Chains A and B, each alone.
Chain A
Amino acid sequence: MSAHLLKAALFALLGAALAWPVGHFFEPWQGWAVFCISLLLQMVFHFRNFSRLEAWTRAPVVDDTLEGDGAWNGIFGRLYRHEKDLRQQIKSREDEIGLLIAAGQALTDGVILLDTMNQIQFCNSMAETQLGLVVRTDRGQHIANLVRQPEFVDYLAAENFERPLLLRSDRRADLMLSIHVIPYGNDRKLMQIKDVTQTERLDRMRRDFVANVSHELRTPLTVLAGFLETMQEIEVDRDERQRYLTLMAEQSQRMLSIVQDLLTLSSIESAPPPCHEVVDMATMVDRLHRDAQALSGGRHHIELLIEGQCDLRGAESELNSALTNLVSNAVRYTPAGGKIRLTWRSGGQGAEFAVEDTGIGIDPSHIPRLTERFYRADRGRSRDAGGTGLGLAIVKHALSRHQARLEIQSTPGVGSCFRARFPASRVVLL
């Protein structure tokens, strides 16, 4: 600082030194004029630097370096560095925020941040799909304006967030959401949204399973017990007795087949992954065709179509029980005179076994649940047809162990098509 002061004083002295001889040899006012001019020059120099600084502060750029002369150089340099540091800090903060946002986006749960007025501040893409939001336009919107279900509005208004709210999505059917609001900061809220559709479904399946298995076993047991009681207490004649016994045998047969199917199912579930023995599909398909004809007893027109000659790798017994179930279902649920077509189509892309029928069909609402144990689209009818309610569960398990998928298409009153699709990795080209 003092160096700059000294410099300025020296410059003024220099001007004075120049002015003094001029004033001495010529008129005094000329000497003064020279002195003033030298001072003015100094001012012009400073003013140039000042205006440069002024222009820069209006639109600070750090692309080209800001340079000043003399005393200004240091100031300009420090200012320039300060600006540069600030920008660097802003950028690194922005990067950090960007990373945090990316982390928020990467979460598999939906996350929404609400401000003090319950307006959306941030929402990740999972939350967007779960609640039908569009973050681009909905930022700053009151959350209850878009998620309008009364349960949610009440939950938000009640401000009691100890328990999460279980909400059935109104935008996507069958989507169950668990919404947990967690207050944070100064009266702000974080909404965590979990998709609990699967958990809910599993819960319901478990409950249904226990209820169903007891119900399915109790029904025949009640009949058995009833007849036994009758025969113990009342003297019945020979014919009557014979009829009772026949019915009792039927019912115990039913119970037996239910237990058998349950055992098959549990053995499929607990068995080690299917081995890679090659299963002769031509023979199996042919046998399925003959079984179907035997089961139908000539009431249906059953045809067999074979395209391509491939075998499958897998466990023969499991494949057999899966495909047999598909075929016997078609025979059971197709009225007499209907058509059933079995197709075995195979090639390098994979293979499929399809059973098409002109049966009673299934309402679309039942299709997703058909493979649940004891799930029946129509209780009375399927029991009359002799089903245990476990057939498609067995099919699904056996197929999924072979990485195969079960596809169901059906139109009520027109017919159904059940396809077992096997991946190429299971196919053995002959």
Chain B
Amino acid sequence: MNETSHVSSQFDEDLANLRTHVLQMGGLVETQVSAAIDAYSTGEVSSVKAIVETDRKVNELEKAIDDDCAHLIAKRQPTASDLRLVLGISKIVTDLERAGDEAKKIAKGVRRIYENGHMPVQYGIGVRHIAEAALVMVRQSLDAFARMDSKLAETVIYADRDVDTEFKSIMRQLITHMMEDPRTITTSIDIIWISRAIERIGDHAKNIAEHVIFVVEGRDIRHPGKKGGSAQ
């Protein structure tokens, strides 16, 4: 009796540590994204290096967490909600790492634009807006994971639609710019890359939110359109 309760509390501690590590990684990605946005709007190219540096840390954490997940499954054979948590974590980590990569892409794009002597800010208001929306999505999806709050996760999923719509309107706007003045094409393409990366960050946040719902409620709400997708 005593033995099992000791083992399970050790197990709980392992799970709690795993969660804390995921959120620590999430914190790094949040900083990356917000630093990338700052770089975009202020032109502080110096922070690009720090963003790339952080990416290395994020990658290491991803590997470590994946390893921990495998160990936990092998050693403790979790079941039911514990198993969902471990599975969910290993997916969340992948999405977080990719979001970090997108942040790195933004930073590099910003550096390219400024090094060519252009200022993206003149087209910037729309981009900054979706960037902030995407950042809020990342933050909320992590909050939802920390608090196991599936309601908040659902709001993140809805927010993704707005980001997608806004991304399309930025595209249209930039296409008009390029048609009016071909000299802006280089910069515009860079900005398209940046907005694309931001839109992808939003998608990853949405994925994380979906994993959170899977962890909390045990239903898989990905790809609802497909046959066999679970009931809403």
Contact = CB atoms under 8 A, between A and B. Distances in A.
Nearest to B42: A365
B20 interface: yes
A149 B20 contact: no
Contacts of B142: 148
Contact of B24 (A141, A144, A171): A144
Interface in A149-180: 149-150, 153, 170-171
A149 B23 contact: no
B16 A142 contact: yes
A138 B16 contact: no
B146 A170 contact: no
Contacts of A2: none
Contact of A149 (B19, B31, B147, B149): B31
A145 B142 CA distance: 9
B143 interface: yes
Nearest to B145: A145
B126 interface: no
Given A142-B20, A144-B23, A148-B142, A137 B149 contact: yes
Given A145-B23, A148-B23, A170-B139, A137 B28 contact: no
B30 A148 contact: yes
Given A142-B16, A144-B23, A145-B23, A137 B31 contact: no
B26 interface: yes
A148 B149 contact: no
A150 B27 contact: yes
A175 to B, nearest CB: 14
Contact of A145 (B20, B34, B54, B149): B20
A149 B142 CA distance: 12
Contacts of B19: 142, 145
B31 A153 contact: no
Contacts of B26: 148
Contact of B27 (A134, A138, A149): A149
Interface in A33-58: none
Give the residue among A132, A138, A145 with the most B Cβ atoms within 10 A.
A145
B34 A146 contact: no
B129 to A, nearest CB: 12
A150 B24 CA distance: 7
Interface residues of B, number: 18
Contacts of A171: 139
Contact of B34 (A138, A142, A144, A170): A170
B88 to A, nearest CB: 15
A141 B24 CA distance: 14
A153 B24 contact: yes
A150 B20 contact: no
Interface in B10-54: 16, 19-20, 23-24, 26-28, 30-31, 34, 54
Contacts of B146: 141, 145-146
Contact of B28 (A141, A145, A150): A150
Nearest to B121: A363
Given A141-B146, A142-B16, A144-B24, A149 B139 contact: no
A333 B45 CA distance: 31
A148 B31 CA distance: 9
A170 B26 CA distance: 13
A132 B30 CA distance: 15
A148 B147 contact: no
Nearest to B32: A150
B27 A148 contact: yes
Nearest to A412: B125
Nearest to A142: B20
A170 B30 CA distance: 9
Contacts of B34: 170
Given A148-B142, A170-B139, A171-B139, A141 B147 contact: yes
Nearest to B25: A148
Contacts of B31: 149-150, 170
A148 B34 CA distance: 13
Nearest to A138: B147
A34 B177 CA distance: 117
A200 B84 CA distance: 45
Nearest to B54: A150
A159 to B, nearest CB: 16
A331 B151 CA distance: 52
A420 B20 CA distance: 51
A358 B210 CA distance: 48
Nearest to B148: A137
A423 B136 CA distance: 39
Contacts of B139: 170-171
B133 to A, nearest CB: 14
Contacts of B16: 142
Nearest to A143: B20
A171 B136 CA distance: 9
Interface string A124-147: 000000001010011001101110
Interface string A174-203: 000000000000000000000000000000
Contacts of B149: 137
Interface string B46-75: 000000001000000000000000000000
27 contacts: A132-B143, A134-B147, A137-B149, A141-B146, A141-B147, A142-B19, A142-B20, A142-B23, A144-B24, A144-B27, A145-B20, A145-B23, A145-B146, A146-B23, A146-B147, A148-B24, A148-B26, A148-B27, A148-B142, A149-B31, A150-B24, A150-B31, A150-B54, A153-B24, A153-B27, A170-B31, A170-B139
Interface of A: 132, 134, 137-138, 141-142, 144-146, 148-150, 153, 170-171
